[in-house]
Every structure is written in C-alpha cells, then in structure tokens.
Amino acid sequence: MIFYPLSSLREVVLIPLFNETIPAGFPSPAADYVERPLDLNELCIAHPAATYFVRVSGHSMTGAGIYDGSLLVVDRSVSPQHGDIIVAAVGGEFTVKKLCLHPVVQLEAMNPDYAPIILNDSGDDLETFGVVRYVINEATNVCPR
C-alpha cells in the first residue's frame, strides 16, 4: 500500500456539481440542471488532521468496489464498527478488509477467492489504521479485463 498524507494536496479546486442526479434508468427531460461549485476536500474529508489517502494493490475487495489501483480516503478518527471497511495491520502486514465482530472477530475479503482472516484463532495482532470513507476509481478500471 502507498500512503498519501493530506499535506500532499496542493490547492482547493472547485469543480462544477450539477444539482440534478443522473438516473440509471429513464432520463427526466424536465429536470432543472443548475450548477454549483463542489470542493472534493469538503465532501470527502470530515477530519483533515486524521485523514489520509492510500492506494490499493490486489483483488481481495472487488466485491466492495475496491480494485487494484483504487485510491481510498481513510479517516483515523472514526472508531471501526462491525461491517466497516478498514485499513489494518495483521501480524505487521497492511491490509484493507471488512471488519466483522461477530460471530467471531475476523477481517473479511469481499471476493470469494480469498479466505477471511480469523483473528481469534490466528493469534495475530490487529492494529487498525482507520475506516475507509470513500473509494476513488478510474471508470476504465471498474471491470477487470
């Protein structure tokens, strides 16, 4: 994993945001397409001092929309809860997985080709490094070739 601190951000760039949502079904020809500025820092970063970016390598989380090369926005100030996708170290190795607290504590891959990491039986130390708040993907990287 490659970690990127927020200090690597250069400047605020406001990008146009259309107030109308885009339907995945039938389009609405009567929609009012009003534009307002959007700051992605404001949208994605609730706690700047505790937020960092990390790039993913591997395919264990494809079922959660996290692909090889995805960029994660991770917040260290959020306490991990059952079902959260977290960045953690297990036995000194970094990983991104879904946290499951019951019936047993485990880190679950979101790809059936990968086994869960069961923490109660393995004796490995779990150290959490934050909860994934957003996933950024290139649209061309969504479907593996």
Active-site residues: which are they?
60, 97
Q: Coil, strand, or helix at residue 125?
A: coil
Residue the block writes with tokens 């479907």? 143
Calpha distance 117→126 (Å, rounded): 10
Calpha distance 63→23 (Å, rounded): 23
Calpha distance 99→108 (Å, rounded): 6
